[in-house]
Chains A and B, each alone.
Chain A
């Protein structure tokens, strides 16, 4: 049905299988590396990635989408090593986490510059490698869409239209405005995941339904960040509440408008995560769904069909 860019080259959509659409090998905010107690040997990161992705694979997982944007320690060199070692289809992104995470070099750059940068990373490669981005990451700063966020959304919308890759967002804050900006660039909402709808700080069931009705995907993609775990992160939600949030979407008939993932960091950089792994998507979340009587066809929709539809590069 089409192709998807991975860090080891394009693959056919049919090869994707069970897919986690919003994950991180290592995400850090700029400056984390000045606190030397947070440093980790790269060998440890690789070992943890090998172990967690092997768990994911053993449970049936096949494709892993890393959404660490430019400047948050994205490393396609590292991703290629991990991809080869694990056999996981590894998709990297272009784009930015949020405007507030960008570095000053980008602040005065016009939309056209950012658009070209994203297109180059999708069509030529990232960081002088032949590894091409398969998706675009954008995000909302913590007090709502900033001017820099809007500029990034505009550029991302244009690059998505020009290349056929989808957009996944950080946060569901101002969801309708996010979609307005992207649609104004000519992008269909069904090419967009409005992410982290299940972040505990930002739950809004009515918004979820609006996003789904508009044709975009609702990102239930913080699976495993639970208030029951320690240490707490601000975006955690109670496991039951997250499940209920998803079941409501399924009850409303929107199974094909949900994107699920764990957003787990193999090696958080400069922050502390509760114990977490992409494998929780399959060894905890899926059993939770089954316990609620959700049938295998719906589970397949969430884990296989939706990601395949989303990630397949559109003809342009």
Chain B
């Protein structure tokens, strides 16, 4: 099927080796609990058609791979991801890991059993998704493995847990677990940061995760840029995620021009191999609190032409959209 929208885009806007990779997107997400009430109907056929359309659009623009960065706790449907990948030809890489603390169920935040929950039990979930296959909860473990571990820092505006052994405890345990699982599987960790990434990065480092296997997402937040965080972290060896392409101006992220300039500056400083761009879109979102774009085409349709117009070279685009993300997704110990 073709999903090209007339003259909206004349053909692929990104031509390179294997096609573009978006590291920070979400295919399908559900507010936990929305599946429990009678008035919300999740139309699976309609969901599938909308996602097929969005992914075909991405592929026609020159896209090859999308990483679903939602982790395990925001409604991931691994069988849907597999099916979409088959029918659209877009490679979909699932992440394991947990979303924000408020999406993690009480089995983890306030376990009732005598032994309680441990970092290693959480790490085991992530490790097995990276090495043994993705979970279809209560039923199946698929042949496809997760490609990366995704974790999220709690942001100021996030809902508070009604009760927990401590928001910071579950977050710290999840971070440690992500590093242990990633190290065991030779995979990388992506962390969506909020106000202060240093605490969570310190935990990952303490567990032995190298900076070059840590992708820090959300670094195109305007105040982080003002504070010089992208340059500082890139200089320390971290992968810098500028992953809010095409977000509305009032969301607190860099505008398109400023993001292009930041990327060019990083290349200028010799740090161009430590940057990725993505758009944090959600293909289909059910009942999520804030509306988010469902368009996976923004990076290719908007960022790429703007980057070229500002003097960016195709070789640099290839680094940003192919070489660096593919290296991050490549296992360091493929036998694991």
A residues at B contact (CB < 8 Å):
28-36, 39, 70-71, 98-108, 117, 120, 127-128, 141-143, 146-149, 231-234, 270-272
CB-defined contacts of A141 to chain B, threshold 8 Å: 110, 162-163
Q: Give bound CA distance, A149 to B162, whole Å.
A: 8
Digitize B154-165: 1 where CB-to-A-CB distance is under 8 Å, 0 elsewhere: 000001011110
A146 to B159, CA, bound (A): 15
**A-B contacts at CB below 8 angstroms, number:** 100
Of the candidates B31, B121, B287, which one forms a contact with A35 in the assembled complex, judged by CB atoms under 8 Å apart? B121
Smallest CB gap from B113: residue in A: A271
Q: Which residue in A36, A105, A146 is a CB contact (below 8 Å) of B32? A: A105
**Residue in B103, B112, B121 whose Cβ sees the most chain A Cβ within 10 Å:** B112
Residue from A31, A127, A143, A147 in contact with B106 in the complex, judged by beta carbons closer than 8 Å = A31
The answer to whether A271 and B36 have CB atoms under 8 Å apart is no
For B273-307 the 0/1 string (1 means CB < 8 A from A) is 00000000000000100000000000000000000
Q: List 10 A-B contacts (CB under 8 A).
A: A30-B106, A31-B108, A34-B72, A100-B106, A100-B161, A105-B31, A108-B159, A141-B162, A148-B163, A149-B162
Q: How far is the CB of B108 from chain A (nearest CB, A)?
A: 5
- For residue B135, CB closer than 8 A to chain A, the reply is yes
- Find out whether the CB atom of A102 lies under 8 angstroms from the CB atom of B162: yes
Interface residue tally of chain B, by bracket? 35 or more
Question: What separation, in Å, do the CA atoms of A32 and B107 have in the docked complex?
Answer: 6
Docked-complex contact B163 and A233, CB < 8 angstroms: no
Q: How far is the CB of A139 from chain B (nearest CB, A)?
A: 11
Decide yes or no whether B128 CB sits under 8 A from chain A.
yes
**Cβ of B121: which chain A residues have Cβ within 8 Å of it?**
35
CB distance from A199 to the nearest CB of B (A): 11
Shortest 5 CB-CB contacts between residues of A and residues of B: A103-B33, A30-B105, A105-B33, A31-B105, A31-B107
| Residue B141 lies at the interface, judged by CB distance under 8 Å to chain A | yes
- Point out the residues of chain B lying under 8 angstroms from A29, CB to CB: 105-107, 110-112
* A34 engages B137 (CB within 8 Å): yes
Give the Cβ gap from A132 to chain B, nearest Cβ, in Å.
13
Give the one of B107, B110, B111, B159 with max A CB within 10 A: B107
Shortest CB-to-CB span from B94 to chain A, Å, is 14
Please give 4 more A-B residue pairs, beta carbons under 8 A apart, in addition to A29-B105, A34-B107, A35-B124.
A34-B72, A36-B128, A105-B287, A234-B114
